[in-house]
């Protein structure tokens, strides 16, 4: 087993882990992530896009 350590669980750390586990052969690796925040990471950029898109859909939908 190959150990991978990620220091920082912000957008860069989150995206790295997301892309890393999507590649074939990742099951041979163990990822450990160290971050300051007590919560799990999330993709804040996509979250914002979805929220904004939802607002646009509400604004232009027929009532």
Residue listed under structure tokens 């052969």: 25
How far apart CA 7 and CA 13 sit, in angstroms, is 7
How far apart CA 3 and CA 37 sit, in angstroms, is 22
Q: What is the pTM of this model?
A: 0.60
Residue pair 14/42 in contact by the 8 Å Cβ criterion: yes
How far apart CA 19 and CA 59 sit, in angstroms, is 34
pLDDT at 58: 53
Domain extent for 14? 2-60
Tens of pLDDT, residue by residue, the chain (63 residues):
899 999 988 888 888 998 999 999 888 999 999 988 777 777 777 777 777 776 655 554 454
For the chain, what is the domain count?
1
């Amino acid at each position: 087993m190959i150990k991978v350590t990620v220091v920082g669980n912000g957008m860069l750390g989150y995206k790295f882990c997301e892309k890393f586990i999507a590649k074939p052969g990742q099951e041979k690796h163990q990822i450990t992530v160290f971050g300051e925040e007590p919560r799990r990471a999330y993709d804040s950029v996509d979250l914002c896009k979805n929220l904004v898109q939802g607002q646009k859909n509400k604004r232009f939908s027929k009532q």
